[in-house]
Every structure is written in structure tokens, then in C-alpha cells.
Amino acid sequence: MAKLNQIIAVEKGVKSQSFQELTEAHQALQKPALLAGISRTYRPKDEEGEQLPPESTRVQLKAQDVIRDTVASLTRLFDVTATKDWANCQAKADVVVDGRTLLRQVPATYLLFLEKQLVDLHTFVKKLPVLDAAESWSYDSSADAFATEPVQTLKTKKTPRNHVKAEATEKHPAQVEVYYEDVTIGYWRTVKFSGALPAQRVNELLARAERLQEAVKFAREEANALEVEDQKVGATFFDYLFGA
């Protein structure tokens, strides 16, 4: 008795071979010359006439033979696919993570769907934005976001100042140089906000996604280990289609 995973493994090859053989049969039947034959002999009008050898062309392809071979090929495909689909109705397993059963008796086909979806979900979680590690963050419920501690900085303004290089005399005016001095005029209080997530949270979600992937894969393999009963539907189908 075969297992479901063995049937799944051979189905693709059987399908590919059947398609190729069906295509070749279809193409061959579109060539009238292969289906045609002839046999003719020559008899001169009188005994003195030229004698010519007989001519013949054999039929190279018979439609009935093509049908027989095609049916044999497709019967195998129909039986393998039926065996897989019948078994898929019974192949089920639990999804268990960390000893906890998340889903019970999940069909193998849905487990395959989950497995593919979890690949995308893992990528999604891996790309989640992470809080800047250079800052110290805490959750601010009033802002519904993460926030840093307030930081105070100075607001300055360049103010001109005069520097007397030489005092005025009776003959010369004072020599004055203008320079600018940064004078504090106020204070900035800055709080940074972020909608990103702590790295610890993202790493935790990644670990969960990976454990889910492992659990679903294990469940699918368990479901596909079901022993299957071979289905023989092809013969009945083609007996009706091509029967007398």
C-alpha cells in the first residue's frame, strides 16, 4: 500500500508524461499522410505493352491504436490523481506548537496553504520597523506611541558686540570691531516619538513565526504519511468515452 506523499511525488511526473504523449498523439493524427495507404498494380493494354511494378504505401498510423495508447497513458494519470484526491479527503493532522494544539484535524491541502502563507508572514515580520537602539524608549499611553525622555537644548541668537581696538584721539576716531556673540534666548524641550517596535518584540514574533512554520510542516508530513487505497476510475471513464 502506498502513502499519500509517495503518490504526490509521482503525480507530477505522470502528469507531465501524459500531457506529452497526448500532445504527440494529437499532432500525429493531424497528418493525413500517416493515416493513408495505397496498393495498386499495373496491367498493360496488350501483351506488348510496358510492364510496370506494383506500387504500395502502408498505413503508418491507425487512429484506433493511438486511442488505445492514449487511453493507457491517461488512465494512469486519472488513477493517480483520483488516489491523491480521495486520500486528501482523509489526510488530516493536528498543528501543535510548544505542546499546545492550535488546530485540530487540519486537511493536508489546507496545511499546504498555511505553509506557503507562513513564508510570506515570516518575511513580513522580519521587515517590521525596530526602535533606534541609540535612544532609550518607553511607551507613552497618551501619545499611543513610544517616546524618549525629554531633552533640553538651548535656543541662541547671534547678538552684535563692539570691541574697541583703539580709543579715539583728537586726530583719529576710535577703531571699533563688530563681532557676534551667541546669546541664550530660550530653551527647547524635545521628546521623540516612534511607531516602531522594540527589537525584543520583533525577535519574539520572528521566533513564533518560525515555530509555526515547523509545526505546520511537521503536520503536513504527518498527514501525507497516510496509507492510501489505489483508485481505479480511469478505466470506467474511458470505457464509456471510447467504448463500442
Statement to judge: residues 166 and 69 lie in one domain: no
C-alpha 119, offset from chain centre:
8
pLDDT given at position 165: 77
Task: Classify residue 140: in a domain, yes or no.
Answer: no
- Report if residue 159 sits inside a domain: yes
Classify residue 52: in a domain, yes or no. no
102 touches 208 (CB < 8 A): no
Is 61 a domain residue?
A: yes
Q: Are residues 13 and 112 in the same domain?
A: no
Give the 3-state secondary structure of 142-179: CCCEEEECCEEEEEEEEEEEEEEEECCCCCCCCEEEEE
Spatial contact of 68 and 36, defined as CB atoms under 8 Å apart = no
Assess whether 3 and 123 both reside in one domain. no
Q: Residue 123: enclosing H or E segment and its boundaries?
A: helix 108-126
Among the listed residues 243, 244, 235, the one whose alpha carbon sits nearest the alpha carbon of residue 74: 235
Shortest CA distance to 219 belongs to which of 101, 123, 139?
Answer: 101
**Which residue range forms the structural domain that includes residue 22?**
1-39+57-91+228-244
77: cell is 494519470
Quickly state the pLDDT bin for 45 (edges 50, 70, 90).
confident
pLDDT of 163: 81
Both 87 and 111 in one domain: the answer is no
Same domain, 7 and 28: yes
Q: Does residue 143 lie within any of the structural domains?
A: no
Neighbouring CB atoms inside 10 A of 234's CB total 20
The grid coordinates of residue 215 equal 509545526
Claim to verify: residue 127 and residue 212 sit in the same structural domain: yes
| Top-ranked range on mean pLDDT: pick from 1-15, 45-59, 66-80, 165-179 | 66-80
The verdict on 176 and 203 lying in the same domain is no
Sign of CA dihedral 25, 27, 33, 36: positive
Residue 47 inside a domain? The answer is: no
Domain-located, residue 175: yes
Position 110, amino acid: Y
Number of folded domains in the chain?
3
Domain annotation covers residue 109: yes
Same domain, 100 and 32: no
Same domain membership, residue 232 and residue 117: no
Same-domain check for residues 100 and 205: yes
> What predicted TM-score, i.e. pTM, was given to this entire model?
0.68
Q: Residues 126-178: pLDDT tens digits?
A: 999 999 999 999 999 999 999 999 999 999 999 988 887 778 777 778 788 88
Can you tell me the mean pLDDT for 89-108? 94
208 and 120 within one domain: yes
Same domain? For 13 and 77 the reply is: yes
Q: What is the pLDDT of residue 2?
A: 81
Contact assessment for residue 5 and residue 83, using Cβ atoms and an 8 Å cutoff: no
